[in-house]
């Protein structure tokens, strides 16, 4: 086995949405800086963003940030960092417009304005659907990577980082190994950004990799973690993964029991099926225990012209759609069975809005830092990871101005 030594100015642990945006912003403000993204998956795979539909939340006129903050305080049952949420929402429109500038397309109305779907019965929160369903997240990754190539950002794949390096009380790099050939890697850096995802374990076929090693290595280095008591509960098709119920629900989709009853009206009389999955999954479980299972997903009330928002053109969702078709099932015509399911544990690094942790030299971005308690609205993760990655990258560029060069 060989030892590889890479010296850089900014080491970014994780090449998903937050990591890519951190690299983009840092390279924009510090074009001479050496920036290296290290991911345990294939180089440029984009993490969970590649599996996303590409739908995005953003505060666009005539909405205002204060209204959205109030919606999220209610939605998160008060478990919301209001100052952090305000900072994220203030910058959300800029990130959406950046994606458009990079070449990502979103559905538009006939008058040219953005088409949106209300989220979870909230008064103001809106999701803006990607034009190419099934490939939206993948295209986001490719468009940002193209920007990074132009800025000569180094990107390394298949490397599992296992330990942070520290010197004189400051984080100054990381150690890891090549998951294919076993070679060891040492990365020396002036600033390290943890952008590898939440502190969770894999519990679902809808999540492609666990991410807990970042929480372990940062904790062992002395970082403060928070919100590790939370987990995300979800509902998913029994056969194959699917992305997009957050769009379908507001358009009229609903869960029904074996007797054909839209049972969520019994448990959530105001929002019905269009409520948080934590409540939906509890109701599903109670219906099944009462002998009224299985639970199916009914799309009969959705207008035909709205189905284009969810029909996949390509990507992993198209593969799963074709698998269903081979079994004689059409998601957009037939009622398909869905089940309650744990998806991932939550929690992450404690950090301020700009990603500063309690460890000097270590920043946190995206879901590697705790932002909310596992409650989800469509497009929320792509919004928060892009904004927080962008802010961490900007902070890293500022820090580089005051730090000595890595020898």
pLDDT of residue 251: 82
Note down the domain range covering 321. 233-342
Mean pLDDT of 67-81: 91
pLDDT of residue 314: 67
Note whether 324 and 359 are same-domain residues. no
Is the residue at 406 inside a domain? no
Helix axes 380-400, 17-29, angle to 10 degrees: 40
pLDDT of residue 262: 93
**Structure-block tokens of residue 351:** 């950090």
Mean pLDDT of 194-207: 69
pLDDT of residue 332: 72
Is the residue at 336 inside a domain? yes
Is the residue at 407 inside a domain? no
pLDDT of residue 374: 78
pLDDT of residue 202: 57
CATH number at 270 reads 3.90.700.10
Q: Which residue has the higher pLDDT, 68 or 302?
A: 68
Predicted confidence (pLDDT) at residue 125 exceeds the cutoff of 60? yes
Note whether 24 and 99 are same-domain residues. yes
Note whether 144 and 162 are same-domain residues. yes
Note whether 132 and 37 are same-domain residues. yes
Q: Exposed/middle/buried for 4, CB within 10 Å: 0-12, 13-18, 19+?
A: middle
Predicted confidence (pLDDT) at residue 304 exceeds the cutoff of 80? no
Note whether 224 and 239 are same-domain residues. no
From CA 41, how far away is CA 192, in angstroms rounded? 19
**Structure-block tokens of residue 183:** 């070679």
pLDDT of residue 6: 97
Counting the structural domains of the chain, the total is: 2
Note whether 85 and 190 are same-domain residues. yes
CATH number at 145 reads 3.50.50.60
Provide, rounded to the nearest whole percent, the portion of the chain with pLDDT above 70: 92
Note whether 335 and 392 are same-domain residues. no
Is the residue at 378 inside a domain? yes
From CA 198, how far away is CA 343, in angstroms rounded? 12
Q: Which residue has the higher pLDDT, 252 or 344?
A: 252
pLDDT of residue 312: 72
Mean pLDDT for all residues in the chain:
89
pLDDT of residue 229: 87
Q: 272: pLDDT confidence band, cut at 50, 70 and 90? A: confident
Is the residue at 405 inside a domain? no
Is the residue at 377 inside a domain? yes
pLDDT of residue 209: 57
Mean pLDDT of 181-187: 97
Q: What is the 3-state secondary structure (H, E, C) of the chain?
A: CCEEEEECCEEEECCCHHHHHHHHHHHHHCCCCCEEEECCCCCCCCHHHHHCCCCEECCCCCCCHHHHHHHHHHHCCCCCCHHHHHHHHHHHHHHHHHHHHHCCCECECCCCCECCEECCCCCCCEEECECCCCCHHHHHHHHHHHHHHHCCCEEECCEEEEEEEEECCEEEEEEEEECCCCCEEEEECCEEEECCCCCCCECCCCCCCCCHHHHHHHHHCCCCEECCCCEEEEEEECCCCCCCHHHHHHHCCEEECCCCCCCHHHHCCCCCCCCCHHHHHHHHHHHHHCCCCCEEEECCCCCHHHHHHCCCCCHHHHHHHHHHHHCCCCCCCCCEEEEEEEEEECCEECCCCCCECCCCCEEECHHHECCCCCCCCCCHHHHHHHHHHHHHHHHHHHHHCCCCCCC
Mean pLDDT of 251-262: 91
Q: 375: pLDDT confidence band, cut at 50, 70 and 90? A: confident
Note whether 14 and 26 are same-domain residues. yes
Q: 378: pLDDT confidence band, cut at 50, 70 and 90? A: confident
Q: 26: pLDDT confidence band, cut at 50, 70 and 90? A: very high
Q: 234: pLDDT confidence band, cut at 50, 70 and 90? A: confident
From CA 90, how far away is CA 101, in angstroms rounded? 19
Note whether 195 and 92 are same-domain residues. yes
pLDDT in tens, 202-223: 565 555 556 688 999 999 999 9
pLDDT of residue 353: 93
pTM of the model: 0.91
Note whether 261 and 129 are same-domain residues. no
Q: Exposed/middle/buried for 28, CB within 10 Å: 0-12, 13-18, 19+?
A: middle
Predicted confidence (pLDDT) at residue 346 exceeds the cutoff of 90? no
Note whether 176 and 252 are same-domain residues. no
Give whichever of 24-38, 201-215, 219-233, 324-338 has the largest mean pLDDT.
Answer: 24-38
Note whether 74 and 147 are same-domain residues. yes
């Amino acid at each position: 086995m060989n030892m590889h030594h890479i010296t850089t100015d900014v080491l970014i642990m994780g090449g998903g949405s937050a990591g890519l945006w951190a690299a983009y912003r840092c390279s924009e403000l510090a074009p001479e800086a050496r920036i290296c993204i290290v991911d345990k998956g294939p180089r440029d795979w984009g993490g969970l963003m590649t599996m996303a539909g590409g739908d995005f939340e953003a505060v666009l006129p005539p909405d205002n940030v204060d209204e959205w903050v109030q919606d999220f305080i209610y939605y998160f049952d008060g478990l919301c960092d209001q100052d952090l949420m305000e900072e994220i929402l203030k910058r959300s429109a800029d990130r959406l417009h950046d994606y458009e500038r990079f070449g990502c397309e979103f559905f538009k109305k006939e008058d040219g304005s953005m088409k949106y779907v209300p989220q979870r019965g909230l008064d103001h929160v809106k999701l803006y659907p990607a034009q190419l369903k099934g490939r939206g997240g993948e295209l986001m990754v490719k468009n940002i990577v193209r920007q990074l190539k132009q800025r000569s950002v180094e990107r390394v794949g298949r490397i599992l980082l296992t330990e942070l390096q520290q010197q004189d009380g400051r984080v100054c790099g990381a150690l890891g190994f090549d998951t294919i050939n076993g070679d060891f890697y040492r990365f020396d850096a002036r600033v390290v950004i943890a952008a590898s995802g939440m502190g969770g374990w894999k519990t679902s076929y809808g999540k492609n990799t666990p991410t807990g090693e970042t929480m372990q290595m940062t904790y062992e280095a002395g970082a403060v973690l928070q919100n590790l008591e939370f987990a995300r509960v979800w509902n998913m098709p029994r056969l194959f993964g699917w992305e997009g119920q957050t769009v379908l629900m507001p358009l009229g989709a609903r869960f029904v029991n074996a007797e054909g009853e839209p049972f969520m009206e019994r448990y959530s009389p105001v929002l019905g099926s269009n409520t948080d999955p934590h409540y939906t999954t509890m109701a599903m479980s109670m219906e099944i225990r009462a002998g009224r299972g299985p639970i199916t997903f009914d799309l009969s009330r959705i207008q035909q012209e709205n189905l284009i928002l969810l029909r996949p053109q390509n990507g992993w969702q198209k593969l799963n759609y074709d698998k269903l078709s081979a079994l004689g099932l059409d998601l957009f015509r037939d009622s398909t069975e869905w089940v309650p399911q744990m998806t991932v544990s939550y929690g992450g690094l404690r950090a301020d809005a700009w990603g500063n942790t309690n460890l000097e030299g270590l920043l946190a971005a995206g879901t590697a830092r705790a932002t909310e308690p596992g409650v989800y609205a469509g497009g929320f993760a792509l919004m928060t990871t892009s904004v927080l990655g962008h802010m961490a990258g900007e902070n890293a560029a500022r820090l580089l101005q005051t730090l000595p060069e890595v020898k």
